[in-house]
Chain A
């Protein structure tokens, strides 16, 4: 496929352009890091000396700490519920594998397709009625519903590679349906389950639009507090918070790729 010298020159330009595009994509997000290290009281790039005062403020200020804690609790709880329900549902739909299951699958992807602003309106109105506004339960349920489709997708992708004969073998050797599910099916689809769990966690950890509608005083997640900070546009603590937000997201992504690599060969040798 390597062509003549004229085309190779064109290739080099393309490559340069593509890397510039990727630079445009990733480099701007790094600006939060130097700004978070500025010694000044206002948003600025540090000149010469750097300071950790804004991190001290972030982790020393009760309101910011509460936001980090609330975001973490909500994201872990929402990801757990979404993963549990999403995985069971994916297995059920996979075993039905009929016209009805395709319809149900499409329906369950709705929270991913419907624009967040409409989801936010719906949750807001429903939560007012159920008294769930501004509560842990309200945030966790809303985020679990929004994240479940992602789990459904990743687990379904794993199931598509699962060798059906393994299940048959387990059943014909006398294992019950429940044992087969727990000891044979689940271990084989672990990469999809864990991947889905990590994506669900990130989705909730980052989520802002629904949080703007249903959280306010008692609950103010990290993105919610950052939103207020960005609108005021003065305090560099927001930059420190942005760094924390990115670091957690990237750590979760790294974890998911390590898990996927480590688990696959051990758990699903036949499925490949």
Chain B
């Protein structure tokens, strides 16, 4: 009770302010979500048979494997590119940095649908990229950039880079640059200073960025569905088919539960590295 001094009325007045949103979220969100998760154990009949399917249906194992593989590669790519951008940003003048930050934030907020459309158009068989490669004599046949796993990886990495940049930037801005100066003055070269001093200092940022990107990638629906062309089935798209087309709530709910368990587990680890609010442009 740090702020006991400002409690004029009873705590009841505060609860009155909280109650409308809390009530809404409990009644129309948390309860329906809980019901969804329960279906995994009760539909079509009570028991664990939906979970047994994980081991008996090879299609399910394949989907989980595809999801994990794509999320891992996406995380590696976007955190690497994000590190490069964030590292450069903190070492530039304030003006150039704020331009870069503006671009990162713009891409952070542009619709996932618009990006998927852009990549489909740019990288399609008759798109400008294939046209340019053919005109340059580099290829004879159009390259299949999209409607396959490559397309999904390009689209997801593109979407996730801002999510990697923002936590890395927060981490790097908190580092005292005099430590690097000290390292130089003591005779260490640029490479040594980077690998022995800077990289370890930015490890919390790297871990936070990786976890965040991985967690968001796990539940991705739009990009795989559009850029994968139906060939790259990840968990979210499979779930949507189970619900909307084949109406198998049990299997869908079982997968949703697994997804949520993964998300919560990783978010718990993430919360030990950074504050959630820092990611969503609140500080911008």
Contacts and interface: CB of A to CB of B under 8 A. Distances in A.
Interface string A12-26: 001101110110111
B81 interface: yes
Interface in A79-123: 85-86, 88-89, 91-93, 95-98, 101, 104, 107-123
Contact of A110 (B29, B103, B113): B29
B1 A114 contact: no
B116 A117 contact: no
Interface stretch (A48-56, A59-67, A238-246): A238-246
Contact of A22 (B28, B100, B119, B256): B100
A239 B121 contact: yes
Main secondary structure of the interface of A (DSSP, over half): helix
Interface residues of A, number: 96
Interface residues of B, number: 93
A209 B103 contact: no
Interface string B92-125: 1000000010011111011111111111111010
B222 interface: yes
A126 B28 contact: yes
Interface in A110-150: 110-126, 141, 144-145, 148, 150
B161 interface: yes
B173 to A, nearest CB: 14
B117 A230 contact: yes
Contacts of B7: 95
A3 interface: yes
A28 B221 contact: no
A120 B184 CA distance: 54
B135 interface: no
B250 interface: no
A103 to B, nearest CB: 11
Nearest to B242: A121
A89 B84 contact: no
A118 B235 CA distance: 11
A117 B113 contact: no
A107 B81 contact: no
A150 B180 CA distance: 37
A212 to B, nearest CB: 7
A253 B107 CA distance: 11
Contact of A1 (B177, B190, B276): B177
B221 A17 contact: no
Interface string A165-203: 001100100000100000000000000000100010010
A157 B239 contact: no
A257 B105 CA distance: 12
B277 A153 contact: yes
A153 B117 CA distance: 31
A217 to B, nearest CB: 14
A58 interface: no
B17 A91 contact: yes
Contact of B84 (A18, A119, A123): A18
A230 B21 contact: no
Given A31-B118, A89-B21, A115-B218, 6 more contacts: A1-B181, A14-B84, A108-B22, A226-B113, A230-B116, A253-B106
15 contacts: A14-B87, A18-B87, A21-B84, A24-B158, A28-B118, A29-B114, A35-B121, A85-B21, A93-B18, A107-B25, A112-B276, A115-B236, A157-B282, A226-B113, A242-B111
